[in-house]
Amino acid sequence: MFEGAAPRRHLSFDIRSRPSDTRAMIELEQARQSIFAALAPLPPEPVPLEAAVGRVASEPILSPIDLPTFDNSAVDGYAVSATDLRAARPEAPVKLELLGRVAAGQVFAGKVRPGTCVRLFTGSALPPGADAVVMVEHTTRQGDRVQITKAVAAGDNIVPVGSEAKRGERLLSPGLRLDYAAIAVAASTGRSRLLVYRKPQVAVLATGDEIVDIDVPPGANQIRNSNSYSLAAQVQAAGGEPVLLPIAPDEPARLRELIADGLEADLLLLAGGVSMGKYDLVEQVLAEFQAEFFFTGVLIQPGKPVVFGRIPGRVPSGAGATAGEHPASPPTHTYFFGLPGNPVSTMVTFELFARPVIEALAGMTPRKLMSLHARLKSEIKTKTGLKRFLPAILSGEFEHAEVELAGWHGSGDVAAMARSNCYIVIAPDRDCIAAAEWVPVLMM
Ligand code: AMP
Ligand code: MG
């Protein structure tokens, strides 16, 4: 699916054409599965290697040559013929004549004959005639002779030609997000430009009559807009390009206008207005755009009212510029999320659902959530029925990993979120977790 841009597939999952009063509540795993099934990457574009970190490769990187290109030494020592040293041991050292030295990058003109050796350094090319390297630690230099106290076998301490990669071998596959090691692979194969998938444009639209922007002092009962900014930061970290829209009031005409603007992007993130209150208009207005809803609620807390779907009819920029064998894509969709407006709910639902959508549009092979186990510092009491993601602080390492709640005062507590570095994950059937129990932890 990620070899070039595959045509977009249609979802078989529970698409509803209209929101209803009874929300389609599904489990977390089912919700994430429907996301992974839905999406294909955006078209590729070339970028210089220096700009490729964090982008997703859309082509494989093959080795154009054998790596390494010559037999070389893995250690500091002496190139020898292993048969000369068959009997070498501390009580019976073997003496060899020293012919010269090969620094890294140099080529030795002579040849290692029986009874001789050549000084090498890590990375030095193995001179002809030698079939092993003895480490300098097992030798004593005596003028133009070297006394050696250890036997070696043919091949010892040599990195053979082609042992890291054969010519034509695939070193990186499409779908990999390029980190510093992948950049090193591209550099070592001489690639100064790489084909990567286009970055998804992600429109961010905060909604709510009570929300004011950050440079406006909030009046009585008003709240500063933090969601647009936290979402923009999360979009960037996920590999997308955020586009901030003005705040939408809880009023259908203006909301409709701003949603229409947001549909120019590859993905639209709405925050707020998806609970079931009188002023929660987001689903209703999305439905006017012929939205298909994949889910309108997930059995999690925080974040239960999260909505995911798509709106048809948009031709993506760059359609037709796809990887060659596929014809121009047909008119396709803009995906959208209605994320709950409580800032912690917005952040959690972004990480669980919106991040994988951005990653898939950016061409990344789907990946699992990053989790580990840690010992709970103090008891947690909660209610059953929903899978919970509680902001928490992980301390200690490995077998000493310990975790405690971040002292969370509800879904609006961004300061507690900022103190946290993970979530404690609580299964829906648990209402009490005892201190010292090992609990699953999702890393932020
Ligand atoms: P809603 O999901 O629209 O019902 O909003 C739930 C809560 O989140 C309300 O208390 C809002 O004040 C708060 N909230 C909604 N949008 C934002 C935002 N953009 N920034 C900060 N808080 C918000
Ligand atoms: Mg609201």
Mind spelling out the 3-state secondary structure of 304-358?
Answer: CCCEEEEEEEECCCCCCCCCCCCCCCCCEEEEEEEECCCHHHHHHHHHHHHHHHH
Q: Is the Cβ atom of 338 under 6 angstroms away from ligand 1?
A: no
Q: Which atom of ligand 1 is nearest to the CA of 210?
A: 12
Helix, strand, or coil here: 200?
coil
- DSSP, res 86: T
- Ligand 1 within 6 A of CB of 275: yes
Q: Is 224 helix (H, G, I), strand (E, B) or coil?
A: strand
Kindly state the average pLDDT of the residues 322-350. Answer: 78
- How far apart are alpha carbons 265 and 316 in whole angstroms? 9
Q: What is the per-residue pLDDT across 7-31, written as a single tens digit (0 to 9) for each?
A: 333 333 444 444 444 567 899 999 9
Higher pLDDT, 121 or 16: 121
Residue % of the chain over a pLDDT of 70: 91
Rounded distance, CA 28 to CA 306, Å?
A: 11
- 89-102 pLDDT tens trace: 999 999 999 999 99
104: pLDDT strictly greater than 90? no
Which residue owns the Cα nearest ligand 1 atom 8?
342
pTM for this predicted structure: 0.85
Ligand 1: which of 223, 279, 414 to mutate, judged by most atoms within 8 Å of the beta carbon? Answer: 223
Rounded Cα distance between 67 and 164, Å, is 5
C-beta of residue 70 within 8 angstroms of C-beta of residue 375:
no
Residue type, 31: A
Contact indicator for 256, 288 with CB cutoff of 8 Å: yes
Cis peptide before 302 (omega within 30 of 0): yes
